[in-house]
Amino acid sequence: MSARITCPVLSTRVTSAEDAASHIHHGDNVGFSGFTGAGYPKATPAALHDQIVAAHDRGDEFRIGLWTGASTAPDADGVLAEAHGVSSRLPYNSDPVMRRLINTGEVDYIDAHLSHSAQHMWFGFYGNLDVAVIEVTAVLPGGLLVPSGSVGNNKTWLDQADRVILEVNHWQPRELEGFHDIYYGTALPPMRQPIPLTDPMQRIGEPYLRVDPAKVVAVVETDRPDRNTPFAPSDATSAAIAEHVVDFLRHEVSAGRMPPGLLPLQSGVGNVANAVLAGLDGSEFTDLVAFTEVIQDGMLDLLDSGTLRAASATSFGLSEIGVRRFMDHIDAYKGRILLRSEEISNHPELVRRLGIIAMNGMLEADLYGNVNSTHVMGSAIMNGIGGSGDFARNAFLNFFLTPSTAKNGAISAIVPMVSHVDHTEHDVQVIVTEHGIADLRGSSPNDRAVKIIERCADPRFRPALQDYLDRARAERPEARHTPHLLDEALSWHQRYLDTGSM
């Protein structure tokens, strides 16, 4: 029996990835583990790729519905997309090959709030889950599973799937046991009870996932690293954004709106969010706590320096260097990092109770504070809304961060009207670019427009934005609450599509 598989029943199910993949059939809905490149299955998807390609070569149909926690990696999303083996995908993707197929219309994409994905499955909104393919660190007697580097939707997929394939990854440190808190207290309405979490680092569950051994059709052993994408080094633009955020937090503390140790932090994905964490590290703030989704390298830095006391999340999202650092000092992080299911890490009830400070990236914002986080020029998906809505709408304070321009200055991140809305003006509090901060709290649409143009827009685009606002206000004196020129509102996007520049 492998040292990682000490459950007598499940040790008899150890088999090859090819055999495991043969339990997945055309038309199945398949739930993968995996969140921001951590903890996704690494052998079964490749074997499934080969079986899909072979079926297509025979002229047979073979496509599955693919559900995950969030993004996976080229060896999970990527290989299945390359095989043209996916008919639908939810709830979040950042794989470039999968993104292309979503954008060409080959794959139906359900871009969902991450806190919704598990409960929408229980509610029956997505249909039946046929197979779960879940990476774990170890399999213990009685069907107890030591989770790996992400928890995501694993609890739900394991509970709900008809058949389960486990991948036991020897690359994941065995010492991960004890890093997780899996809450089994969720119920369906009208039987729901409050979630008994009042402190970000409180344990309300147990360290293990559970699986009914009778459902496990295969156990596959692997030894492969997570995706571990490197982060871009912080540049002048992201450093300036970070400085504005830190200054603003200082201001909130001195205004008495926040305690000196701040409130729990949530930090989104991407390079800008990572840079903001680096900005906090150079600040006077210490002993902070994070209640977030993803632990990126920047958060390890904060934990190492003591700026951050502890972090609750659902996943790691580390670079190779970050992983090595985590593994080398894993015992020192125990008790300071807790990984939970995404239905808990992102739960609106908890985000609101704890008073989270949410910091997320965006593609563009408009004059009135509506934010587009997902769709380039209104139509092509980038990644997805992820947890940004879970946190932003329910946060004590939220920031949306972006460089003021994209594509070498051809695109303004501040536009007259966003081409797609993820976060409405009601949910957006503070917009930050390298030029400054627009604090929209308690502001009318017209005040917001003035602040956003003056403080956030790139100076080259300010005159045209001001001109739009002035003419919109003049055109219909009886409709000045949120003035727009409807025939021009999206003309900046159209001009970019036509000429390559806004």
Question: Minimum distance between the CB of residue 400 and ligand 0RQ, rounded to whole angstroms?
Answer: 9
411 scored as a contact of ligand 0RQ (CB under 6 A)? yes
When the beta carbons of 148 and 383 are compared against ligand 0RQ, the nearer one is: 383
DSSP code of 490? T
Residue 293 annotated in active site: yes
What x/- string results for residues 434 through 473 when contact with ligand 0RQ is judged by CB under 6 A? Answer: ----------------------------------------
Residue 322 C-alpha from the chain's centroid: 18
Which C-beta is closer to ligand 0RQ: that of 307 or that of 383?
Answer: 383
* Closest of 419, 423, 320, 328 to residue 371, by C-alpha: 423
What 8-state DSSP symbol labels residue 421?
A: -
Select 293 or 343, whichever has its Cβ closest to ligand 0RQ. 293
**DSSP type of residue 60:** -
388 binds ligand 0RQ (CB under 6 A): yes
Q: Which CB sits closer to ligand 0RQ, 92 or 157?
A: 92
Which residues on adjacent β-strands are paired with residue 365? 371, 414
Q: Which of 72, 154, 312, 360 binds ligand 0RQ (CB under 6 A)?
A: 360
Q: Which stretch binds ligand 0RQ (CB under 6 A): 133-141, 149-157, 161-169, 356-364?
A: 356-364
Residue range at the interface with ligand 0RQ (CB under 6 A); choices 48-56, 215-223, 403-411, 471-479: 403-411
Among the listed residues 387, 416, 436, 483, the single contact to ligand 0RQ using CB under 6 A? 387
Neighbour-count burial of 485, counting CB atoms closer than 10 A to its CB (0-12 exposed, 13-18 middle, 19+ buried): middle
Q: Pick the catalytic residue: 135, 167, 252, 293?
A: 293
The answer for 116, left when phi > 0, alpha when psi is -120 to 50, beta otherwise, is: alpha
* Cα 288 to Cα 13: distance, rounded to the nearest angstrom: 45
Residue 138: count of CB within 10 angstroms of its CB: 23
When binding is defined by CB under 6 A, the residue of 81, 86, 118, 269 that contacts ligand 0RQ is: 269
Per residue, what are the HEC states of 258-325?
A: CCCCCCCEEECCCHHHHHHHHHHHCCCCCCEEEECCEEEHHHHHHHHHCCEEEEEECEEECCHHHHHH
Of 186 and 266, CB closest to ligand 0RQ: 266
Site of tokens 């921001």? 36
DSSP reduced 3-state for 57: helix
Question: Is residue 490 a contact point for ligand 0RQ (CB under 6 A)?
Answer: no
Number of residues lying near ligand 0RQ (CB under 6 A): 29
> Does the footprint of ligand 0RQ cover residue 270 (CB under 6 A)?
yes
Question: Among residues 108, 38, 70, which one has the least CA distance to residue 337?
Answer: 38
413 in contact with ligand 0RQ (CB under 6 A): yes
Binding site for ligand 0RQ (CB under 6 A): 36, 70, 92, 114, 268-272, 293-294, 360-364, 373, 376, 382-383, 385-388, 403, 406-407, 411, 413
Query: Which positions are catalytic?
Result: 293
